[in-house]
Amino acid sequence: MAEIKFEIKKELGSISDSPKGWTKELNLISWNGKEAKYDLRDWGPGHEKMGKGITLTSDEIKSLKELLNQLDF
């Protein structure tokens, strides 16, 4: 399996914390040297391990924001 390289360009924020020290974060990440995208996933302490997540382009994150703004909480 090929090594996956990533660089967190900007830490945008954490939306939850687990009792085991993992956090669900929204970050701007460059994967394998490509253009940075918005990324939502679980991270272990110190960003040494990561869980499965979702990566979104700027247009996709704008569409998600519009959708979330329509929700009635």
Share of the chain above pLDDT 90, in %: 92
More confident residue, 18 or 3: 18
Tens digit of each residue's pLDDT (9 = 90 or more) over 16-30:
999 999 999 999 999
Q: Does domain 6-70 have CATH number 1.10.620.20?
A: no
CA distances from 50 to 1, 19, 23, 30, 53 (A): 17, 16, 10, 15, 8
Q: Is the full-model pTM beyond 0.85?
A: yes
Query: What pLDDT score does 3 carry?
Result: 84
Tens digit of each residue's pLDDT (9 = 90 or more) over 42-58:
999 999 999 999 999 99
